[in-house]
Amino acid sequence: MKRILLTAAVACAALVAVAQRADYRIIPLPKSEVTDTAHVFVLRDGMGIAFDAANSEVTRNADFLRQWVEEVSGVKLVMTPDDKKAAVRLTLGFATDKKSKKKKGQQVPSLTPQQEEAYTIAVTQDGILIQARQPIGFFRAAQTLRKSLPVKARSAADSSVELPFTTITDEPRFAYRGAHLDCSRHFFKVDFIKRYLDVLALHGCNQFHWHLTDNDGWRFEVKALPELAEKGSWRPQSPLRRAGLWDGTPYGGHYTQKECRELIEYAAERYINIVPEIDIPAHIYSALEVYPDLRCDVLHQRGSDQVLCAGNPKTLTVLKTIFGELCDVFPSKFIHIGGDECPKGGWERCPKCQAKIKDLGLKEDGKHSLENQLQTWLNREMGQFLSERGRDMIGWDEILEGGLTDGGLVMSWRGTKGGLEAAKQHHRVIMTPTDFCYFDYYQLRDHDRQPPAIGYYLPLSKVYSFEPLDGIPEEEQQFILGVQANLWTEYVAYPQHVFYMLLPRLDALSEVQWCRPDLKDFEDFKERLPRLKRFYDRIGVNYCHDME
Ligand code: ACM
Ligand code: ZN
């Protein structure tokens, strides 16, 4: 008995000792990591972080690192910009880049966006040296260290951690690494969006696709059309899903342009671009309730079946006002126009829409219906409008149905077929197929162990197995910009429920977005996950505890 107790005590002590050590096998896994566990550098309170204080962006990232090291491990580092011998040093520029520049007369190949994000971390007896091509690399490196450090008990007496000697070299696989949030079906406050952005940044995501409007609520303030936000953001009641009842309680909320700008800045400091979406010409009941003259005036259209009237000249004027303000607020190169699930029954019966089809000279071509071609005409008008403002239009893959607009990006959600077709036509593509990327689906087979969800089943293992370039011919793979998770919120009303649906599935998707396929291994991923969950516990972020 005594022996057993002693063994347990020793094992416990060993666990505590191990728990004070960094482990660089994080999520998403760095591209290359060579670690010598026999030697460690001990990071302690009062050690310094050196950086170029003249560069405010570098300074911000150095300070993120300081905050994050303390948050996870308790070690309090100090900012010592001029101390070249500090324990942690941030230096800009790669020696290999300098060498290649020196070769006279030779063209220096331009860097991919992924190479711009590259960083290295070297831990030696001298401390931690972080090198990056651009300040963004410091941010990525700081996130890597944050996740590598042990989550120490806040009461731990010893405030030091051991970092095994290592050389980490890292950069992402895809340029576009996104996650979406539907803020129409349910409205989430600015403070929560900041937390959501923090979690995206933790996963190396660089795009937040913000679904700002839908049938259930208009969330974007348009100053020239104030009623959109004042009235269109409110609904008299919400469905009690499953029960088939209504709650009888008014529900609403919207983001002012000032709040949008605040979030854009917050996201930019975390190297995330916000891609705003105003969904047209369907999914727009919230606006049609406010401006009924913008809908096709035909019988048999009800609620969410209703669409914008493409034949009414006022429609385009109003859309240009809305998208004009959207472009004024959001600096994003990409602007999302939705375009999904547009029922064509109204357009088929609407005299104005049919007259427009005639005016435009649209003809049956055996491939695209006249109404689908009408939608493509509307997309083209919007694409042109955005292009004049230096923006590129993104649409859900339905935008292919009437013939794709030049320069438009396709978000392939009904499988990867649309993405494949668009890539063949040399259009850029973002892969977000329902089968792998729809995080509103159940994540466990047993529905009773989860809050009600929209249906279907998307377990962690399936998310992890996604290979976005499968079936894409090699010469067309360059058009696949990246991958995105979508989180629709018909069933998701509260922040901790959002995180429950997101995590750990975003962990799995982050390896699809970040890692070369040959590095991926689901069994290994599962072994790395518990450490990240401890980190989620530390920062107070919810996640699904079970995994399938
Ligand atoms: C979509 O899920 N309707 C894009
Ligand atoms: Zn019409």
SS3 of 291-319: the string is CHHHECCCCCCCHHHCCECCCCHHHHHHH
Last residue of a domain, one of 170, 187, 203: 170
How many CB atoms sit inside 10 A of residue 9's CB? Answer: 10
171-221 pLDDT tens trace: 999 999 999 999 999 999 999 999 999 999 999 999 999 999 999 999 999
Query: Among 186, 211, 283, 427, which one carries the catalytic annotation?
Result: 283
Residues 341 and 412 in one domain: yes
The answer as to whether 14 is a domain residue is: no
User: Where are the strands (E) in 118-270, listed by range?
Assistant: 119-124, 127-132, 160-170, 176-182, 207-211, 213-214, 217-218, 234-235, 239-240, 245-246, 251-252
Please confirm, yes or no, whether 341 is among the known catalytic residues. Answer: yes
The answer as to whether 545 is a domain residue is: no
243-265 pLDDT tens trace: 789 999 999 999 999 999 999 99
Q: How far apart are CA 448 and CA 417, in angstroms?
A: 34
AA letter at 439: F
Which among 147, 148, 181 is positioned nearest to 502, based on CA atoms? 181
Residues 357 and 309 in one domain: yes
Last residue of a domain, one of 153, 170, 187: 170
Q: What's the confidence (pLDDT) of residue 511?
A: 98
List the beta bridge partners of residue 431. 412, 483
Residues 458 and 512 in one domain: yes
Greater confidence, 188 or 1? Answer: 188
The answer as to whether 330 is a domain residue is: yes
Domain of residue 124, residue span: 20-97+113-170
The answer as to whether 392 is a domain residue is: yes
Ligand sitting nearest the alpha carbon of 395: 1
Residues 138 and 263 in one domain: no
| DSSP structure class, residue 166 | E
- Per residue in 162-177, is it b (16+ CB within 10 Å) or e — as a string? bbbbbbbbbbbbbbbb
Last residue of a domain, one of 170, 197, 214: 170
Q: What's the confidence (pLDDT) of residue 479?
A: 97
Whether the predicted pLDDT of 16 surpasses 50: no
Among the listed ranges 178-182, 279-283, 320-324, 364-368, which one has the minimum average pLDDT value?
Answer: 364-368
Find out whether 380 and 405 touch, Cβ atoms under 8 Å: yes
Q: How far apart are CA 306 and CA 315, in angstroms?
A: 14
CATH number of the domain that 128 lies in? 3.30.379.10
Ligand 1 pocket, 116 CB below 6 A? no
Q: What is the mean pLDDT of the chain?
A: 93
Query: Among 214, 221, 490, 507, which one carries the catalytic annotation?
Result: 214
Residues 159 and 295 in one domain: no
Q: What's the confidence (pLDDT) of residue 278?
A: 98
Residues 150 and 186 in one domain: no
Residues 180 and 162 in one domain: no
Ligand 1 pocket, 33 CB below 6 A? no
Could you give the residue ranges of the DSSP H alpha helices within 231-363?
257-269, 285-290, 313-329, 345-349, 351-360
Q: Which atom of ligand 1 is nearest to the CA of 434?
A: 2
Among the listed ranges 39-53, 154-168, 256-270, which one has the minimum average pLDDT value?
Answer: 154-168
The answer as to whether 10 is a domain residue is: no
Residues 238 and 384 in one domain: yes
Ligand 1 pocket, 456 CB below 6 A? no
The answer as to whether 6 is a domain residue is: no
The answer as to whether 353 is a domain residue is: yes
Ligand 1 pocket, 341 CB below 6 A? yes
Q: How far is the CA of 398 from the centre of ligand 1 (A)?
A: 10
Q: What's the confidence (pLDDT) of residue 175?
A: 98
Provide the number of structural domains found in the chain: 2
Q: What's the confidence (pLDDT) of residue 159?
A: 78
Whether the predicted pLDDT of 25 surpasses 80: yes
CATH number of the domain that 466 lies in? 3.20.20.80
Query: Among 82, 305, 341, 524, which one carries the catalytic annotation?
Result: 341
518 exposed, middle or buried (CB, 10 Å; 0-12, 13-18, 19+)?
exposed
Residues 145 and 260 in one domain: no
Please confirm, yes or no, whether 283 is among the known catalytic residues. Answer: yes
| Dihedral pair phi/psi, residue 245, rounded to 5° | -115, 175
The answer as to whether 459 is a domain residue is: yes
User: Where are the strands (E) in 171-248, listed by range?
Assistant: 176-182, 207-211, 213-214, 217-218, 234-235, 239-240, 245-246
Degrees to nearest 5, angle at CA 151 with 71 and 121: 80
Ligand 1 pocket, 340 CB below 6 A? yes
Residues 423 and 506 in one domain: yes
Mutation to probe ligand 1, out of 396, 412, 437, 440 (largest number of atoms < 8 A from CB): 396
Residues 425 and 530 in one domain: yes
Residues 200 and 142 in one domain: no
